[in-house]
Structure 1
Amino acid sequence: MPMSRRALAAAAVVVLVLPLSACGSGGDSGGSTDASGKVEGDITFQTWNLRANFKPYFEGLMADFEKKYPGTHVKWVDQPAEGYADKLSADAGGGTLPDVVNVSPDLVAPLARAALALDLDKAAAPYRSEYLPGAWAGHQVPGMSGTYAFPWYLNTGPLFYNKALFTKAGLDPGRPPKTYGELFADALQMARKSGGKVATLANVPTIEDFGRYGVTLMNKQGTAFAFNDAKGVELLSKYKELYDAKALDPQALTATPESSGKKFLTGAVAMNPGSALDLDNFKKNAPSLYRNIGITDQITSTGHVNMYVMGVMVNSRTRHAPAAVAFAHFVTDAQNQMSFAKKVAIFPSTAGSLNDPYFTKEDGTDETRVRVAAAKSLKTAVNYTPVLFSDQMKTALRNEVAKALQGKESPEQALDNAVNAADRLLQQG
């Protein structure tokens, strides 16, 4: 099921340096990048673990495209989630990369740097206005000009909070924190009023938290990370204060989404991210929590929540650029995105789509409560995770954050170490 792919977002980073000589599935490396010609020819479309659940949808999508553009034929290839990054690397190196490819931002970055991803700012400029600005920017690569995939489906998650715990702490349950400043103040009061028995958060700060706090994560050239600046140190110092006051759960250093969810379920934690599936769980297993559940936006001091974005890339070496661009656009246009969004819990990246009643009108069900809340925040959301920030880099950051919270290193030293480790990995990749 695609929802397991880190909320329909990124997976492993392609760490191999892709050869610039690699060519597309159409054959030689001299394919035209001019997408203004006649839409015709055979193209291959590759998705990422979608056939098992959505075969009828994609078969209908391809049939509709071929009907709209006689003389075209789309061959669909679906790859399993496991090893997808390695498969892209192998295809790029062997000259068998499909014409149109389902990618996440971290997967498109090495392909763009190897000149294998078509720059859509040039090849598909008229379509740009059809998409949310934050979604279109999701597949831009630091240090490069251009956009290297059409934005496809989006995801984000609201924040749940326990109204009863807020009331006990003397906080207004109708006014949950919106900014990090408000969060820190409320969390300290929650810990103080509960004698350290109730933490507000169960997770340490991630790279997305630094982004939502307003920290500059990377230089514009894409050559070095920068989240160890004064603002980054300020954020980690605040988390250290929470940790010392037991406003941050003591087990946050080793927390998983599952363990954090259990903490929230039992009332040991006052706030936690989640989805409609969690609401159903609360209703069945924690009815008192369910009766007191509040739903609010992600905490942010920038005014923009974090989004996860999937994309559709066009191979720059395709022999049928007009057809490949037309199909990538067709897959991601407003009509087809809306159709897909009604089949799975994701959100369209097209401008105006989130104003549809499907995303704005509640019907009393848990599913719509979460969907409406998430859709509202997505209109101005951004993808804070740098496309060049790998899983190894995330691990390095988490390890250094843990040392700072435990007092083994100062916040300054911890972030300097994390940035140095990330920069070394960046140079190796």
Structure 2
Amino acid sequence: MRISRRTLATAVAVAALLPLSACGSGNDDSSSGNASGKIEGDITFQTWNLRANFKPYFEGVIADFEQKYPGTHVKWVDQPAEGYADKLSAEAAGGTLPDVVNVSPDLAAPLAKAGLALDLDKDKAAAKYKSEYLPGAWSSTDIPGLPGTWAFPWYLNTGPLFYNKALFKEAGLNPDQPPKTYADLFKDGLQISKKTDGKVATLANVPAIEDFGRYGVQLMNKEGTGFAFNDAKGVELLTKYKELYDAKALDPQALTATPESAGRKFLTGAVAMNPGSALDLKNFKTQAPTLYKNIGITDQITSTGHVNMYVQNLMVNAQSKQKPAAVAFAHFVTDAKNQMAFAKKVAIFPSTAGSLNDPYFTKEDGTDETRVRVAAAKSLKTAVNYTPVLFSDQMKTALQQEVAKALQGKQSPKQALDNAVKACDQLLKQG
């Protein structure tokens, strides 16, 4: 169950391994760097599809930074969402990587391995800021076998599970008692399909790597040298999804669905449940008023007690000629004040310690929007980024393809996950 990429708040990066020409040693002296010294000079700041909606905000942040540190100048470059990973790869290979770069953990990993990401733990100027961030956010770029922190945490996101109360009621289920466990989810899903003669599915996406994580599956071995989601628990989850698929409780188009297409299915009433965020409520209100009147909101289903979170980061280029200014700016953008201001412009959450205790994230006013925001903020304090930082876009595709074969009955769930792990391990070695 994945959150849509339709908005900034729910954007999740697409990973890509750097070409061999960009590879280097993550232990290169440049990665530890030294950002101590006078904060001055020109730096370039690169974001990911943010200018269109947030130009005044970022121009204001840059102006405030330049005023605080006379003698600095920040050039802001915003790249489109499409092909962003390829753009980073090209910049890394060509030696044109900006001083401060917007990345997700899976995009930071290959840059760190190539010696292009500043290790914040080793840099005295950066390491002093560690206590300002949530521990889980600071460690979001942890890479197995490569100790260090490779980017400042920026904004976080998570969201609830929405469900259509009218569809639950039509299927003979209590609309005020949505599934709280996976067992409930599978049971209710089969009942909804049976009562509607297969016309209404419960879910519209096949399980992705974060779903295996939420189910309690061990995703990688302890050494971080290989994947392990083909264990008995992983097979159990995929087997349950196969039962849903056979009973038409999993939408037939789930094999090729995107979060966007799944969202459209939910809007039309073809699917009973779908993950989302507070921003989706506005879409429901304007695009599907009937759905909005019947919308139910419940927590993410998890066997671990920890919901999934998505993370965005700001990485400092280890080869920057103006490291003091680059570190200072990355921290400035991600400090509590600026993150809080950003969170009030769009439905995202700060990664800074204590920010989620602000009344904005703890006080409800009777609206569904604040109900979602307060619940999400509370869950983020112990949330986990289940997607391994080494799990690339190619690996995601390999898993999706093998899962599809299992659901279609072309191979057993066990064989599908064995094949997926084998393919992902091979890709891991290539990286």
For residues 340 and 283 of structure 1, the distance between their equivalents in structure 2, rounded to whole angstroms, comes to: 24
| Partners of 1:330 and 1:274 in 2: CA distance | 29
Does residue 69 in structure 1 map to residue 74 in structure 2? no
**Partners of 2:30 and 2:53 in 1: how far apart?**
36
1:59 aligns with 2:59: yes
Match of 1:128 in 2: 130
Unpaired runs of 5+ residues, structure 2, are none
Q: Does 1:13 align with 2:21?
A: no
1:250-261 correspondence runs (5 A): 250-261=252-263
Q: CA deviation at 1:153?
A: 1.1
Matched residues in 2 for 1:277 and 1:42: separation?
36
Corresponding residue for 1:118? Answer: 118
2:422 is aligned to 420
Inter-partner Cα distance in structure 1 for 2:75 and 2:229:
43
Cross-structure match for 1:33: 33
Give me the whole-angstrom Cα distance separating, in 1, the residues matched to 2:23 and 2:221: 25
User: Quick one: structure 1 residues 7 and 287, their matched pair in 2 at CA, closer, same or farther if it must change by over 3 Å?
Assistant: closer
Distance 1:84 1:291 in 2: 38
1:291-302 matches, cutoff 5 A: 291-302=293-304
| 1:260-409 correspondence to structure 2 within 5 Å | 260-409=262-411
* C-alpha deviation, 1:133, in angstroms: 2.1
Instruction: Report how far residue 122 of structure 1 moved.
Output: 2.4
Cα distance, 1:164 vs structure 2: 2.9
Inter-CA distance 30–289: structure 2 relative to 1 (3 Å threshold): closer
TM-score by length of 1: 0.89
Identify unmatched segments of 5+ residues in structure 1. 23-28
**Contact map agreement 1:296 1:373 (CA 8 A) in 2:** no
User: How far apart are residue 232 of structure 1 and its match?
Assistant: 0.7
**1:109, CA displacement in angstroms?**
0.8
Q: Distance in 2 between matches of 1:413 and 1:30?
A: 44
Structure 1 counterpart of 2:19, one-letter code: L
Given that residues 6 and 260 in structure 2 are in contact (C-alpha distance below 8 angstroms), is that contact kept between their aligned partners in structure 1? no
CA 1:35 to 1:364, structure 2 compared with 1: closer, same or farther past 3 Å? same
Cα RMSD for the two superposed structures:
2.6
Cα 1:363/1:319, change in 2 over 3 Å: same
TM-score (norm 2): 0.89
* Distance of aligned partners of 1:92 and 1:278 in 2 relative to their CA distance in 1, 3 Å threshold: closer
Helix, strand or coil at the partner of 1:239:
helix
Q: Hey, what's the Cα distance between the residues in 2 that align with 1:104 and 1:230?
A: 30
Q: In the TM superposition, what is the alpha-carbon distance from 1:169 to its structure 2 partner?
A: 3.8
Structure-1 residue corresponding to 2:145: 143
Give the CA deviation at 1:258.
4.1
Counting aligned pairs with the same residue, the percent is 79
1:42 aligns with 2:45: no
Post-superposition Cα deviations, 1:31-53, rounded to whole Å, max 9, x if no partner, equal: 98223433333332222222333
Provide the aligned length of Structure 1 versus Structure 2: 422
Task: Report the CA distance shift for 1:53/1:263 in structure 2 as closer, same or farther (over 3 A).
Answer: closer
